A and B are shown apart, each in its own frame.
Chain A
Amino acid sequence: QKEVEQDPGPLSVPEGAIVSLNCTYSNSAFQYFMWYRQYSRKGPELLMYTYSSGNKEDGRFTAQVDKSSKYISLFIRDSQPSDSATYLCAMSQGGSYIPTFGRGTSLIVHP
Chain B
Amino acid sequence: DADVTQTPRNRITKTGKRIMLECSQTKGHDRMYWYRQDPGLGLRLIYYSFDVKDINKGEISDGYSVSRQAQAKFSLSLESAIPNQTALYFCATSDSTGPPLHFGNGTRLTVT
**Cα separation A88 to B47 with both chains bound (whole Å):** 20
Interface pair B99/A43, CB less than 8 Å apart: no
**What is the total number of residues of chain A having a CB less than 8 Å from a CB of chain B?**
22
Known contacts being A49-B100, A97-B99, is A43 close to B90, with CB within 8 Å?
A: yes
| A-B interface contact total, Cβ < 8 Å | 51
Q: How large is the interface on B (under 10, 10 to 19, 20 to 34, 35 or more residues)?
A: 20 to 34
Name the contact of A43 in the complex, choosing from B41, B48, B106 (C-beta under 8 A).
B106
Neighbour of A102 across the interface among B42, B45, B103, CB < 8 A: B42
Tell me what chain A mostly uses at the interface: helix, strand, loop, or mixed: loop
- The residue from A32, A41, A45, A88 contacting B99, defined by CB atoms under 8 A apart: A32
Chain A stretch 37-64: residues in CB contact (< 8 A) with chain B: 41-46, 49
On B, residues with C-beta under 8 Å from A are: 4, 33, 40-43, 45, 48, 90, 92, 94, 98-106, 108
